[in-house]
Amino acid sequence: MRPGPYARLLAALAAAGGNPASAHFRGQVAKGMLEESRADIAAHIGRLPSEIVFTSGATEAMNTAIIGPRLPEESTILANPTEHACALTALKRRGTRIEWLALDGYGRVDALAAARAIRAQGRRLGMLVVMAANNETGVVEPVSELAEAARTANPNVVVVSDLAAYAPSRQVAGVARHADLLAIAPHKLGGPAGIGVLVRRAGMPLDPLVTGGAQEYGVRAGTVPAALAVSAADAIVRAGADGLPEEISRLRDRFEARVVSAIPGARLIGEGADRIGVSCLLFPGLRSEDLLFLLDEAGVAASFGAACASGAFEPSHVLLAMGFSKTAALSSLRFSYGYGNTVSEIDSAAEALIAAVEKLGGVR
């Protein structure tokens, strides 16, 4: 965690001893902290406090965003095939007819092909699901452009966007203006794990996944952890105010330049596209698991595919959707950058990766 959100968490834990839903004075102290946090996030992203819903994490937020809306029976959902697994599984669980959007050479939704697909659906288009940036490749998606096209086809369409990977590297207000339902992961911003933010456009009915009480405007039952909300709000607001996005970009560019120049044949996925602070590299002829073993020995934390699936060596669904073979996908590594990373660490990680590739015989 970053020092600011961590300090706020400790202070809030000491002060918020009650349930925010309770009427007694301890509960009201916690409620005041919770509502202040809600207002801070809303002001930062240009939305209303009543549109901010706290969840257990971005996974629950995306599940609620996809499963919760009430769509007409004959609706079709247009979705990005490279979405995070939490979105893909929620789409399958929902059971509504899905058509997958085509990708361009960068692994980004092809805007022209998507516009044609949107026009073809017309009023049948019930939901558009497009993440703001891919968590594996870092490629930024044209959410605003697609949302406008979708609303032209059907003013009642529900636009859903996952901002978990996007928020650390960009201001989120632009995407927030165009999407009806958004998910934010505070721990990606140096905040606490165990809490997420669902942004719901005012007046949009949602069927809750977690039922019981009427907390969070009836969208999510259960006692809301006020202290985590305070820390999460601090992390979200700080991320856009202290130069974190710019620092992440500098670290990414430095790492990629050193690695690509030193390893002939290494391939940077999404190169040339607008990307966030994620590097996805292919090392043809090598296996991801071998590289990860050597990197782990060197003290470098890298991932294979999404972090949620890094314990299972199956080819990345993102790379497969982009047209890469299973063998190529099994040679990929993902590196993320964030608060606390130093130039020295970035250089050490690059040198460790270069040494690992050399030890395994180089790219073939």
Position 306 scores a pLDDT of: 56
Residue 314 is classified by DSSP as -
pTM of the model: 0.94
308 is catalytic: yes
Q: Predicted confidence band at 311 (pLDDT cuts at 50, 70, 90)?
A: low
Position 243 scores a pLDDT of: 72
Given a cut of 90, whether residue 354 has pLDDT beyond it is yes
Residues 70-75: contacts with CB under 8 Å, at least 24 apart? 70/205, 70/207, 71/96, 71/126, 71/127, 71/158, 72/126, 74/124, 75/124, 75/125, 75/126, 75/127
Given a cut of 70, whether residue 206 has pLDDT beyond it is yes
Given a cut of 80, whether residue 309 has pLDDT beyond it is no
Between CA 77 and CA 321 the distance in angstroms is 18
3-class SS at 337? coil
Better pLDDT: 38 or 305: 38
Q: Are 233 and 199 in contact (CB under 8 A)?
A: no
For residue 54, which of 149, 185, 152, 244 has the smallest C-alpha distance?
185
Instruction: For 223-262, give one letter per residue: b (16+ CB within 10 A) or e.
Output: ebbbbbbbbbbbbbbbbbeeebbebbbebbeebbebbbee
For residue 278, which of 318, 324, 241, 312 has the smallest C-alpha distance?
318
Between CA 317 and CA 321 the distance in angstroms is 6
For residue 137, which of 107, 180, 105 has the smallest C-alpha distance?
107
Q: Predicted confidence band at 312 (pLDDT cuts at 50, 70, 90)?
A: low
C-alpha of 352 from chain center: 27
Q: What is the mean pLDDT of the chain?
A: 94
3-class SS at 339? coil
Tell me how far apart the 2 most distant CA atoms of the chain are, in Å. 68
Position 307 scores a pLDDT of: 53
**pLDDT (tens digit, 9 = 90+) per residue, 150-184?**
999 999 999 999 999 999 888 899 999 999 999 99
**pLDDT (tens digit, 9 = 90+) per residue, 47-74?**
999 999 999 999 999 999 999 999 999 9
Q: Are 51 and 41 in contact (CB under 8 A)?
A: no
Better pLDDT: 125 or 341: 125
Q: Six-digit token pair at 67? A: 């499963």
CB atoms within 10 A of CB 162: 33
Catalytic residue among 246, 308, 313, 364: 308
Going along the chain from its start, the domains and CATH numbers come out as 3-239 (3.40.640.10), 244-359 (3.90.1150.10)
275-293 mean pLDDT: 96
Given a cut of 60, whether residue 277 has pLDDT beyond it is yes
What are the backbone dihedrals phi and psi of residue 344, each rounded to the nearest 5 degrees, phi first?
A: -60, -40
Instruction: For 110-146, give one letter per residue: b (16+ CB within 10 A) or e.
Output: bbeebbebbeebeeebbbbbbbbbbbbbbbbbbbbeb
Between CA 118 and CA 128 the distance in angstroms is 9
**pLDDT (tens digit, 9 = 90+) per residue, 214-255?**
999 999 999 999 999 999 999 999 987 777 788 889 999 999
**pLDDT (tens digit, 9 = 90+) per residue, 16-26?**
778 999 999 89
Position 123 scores a pLDDT of: 97
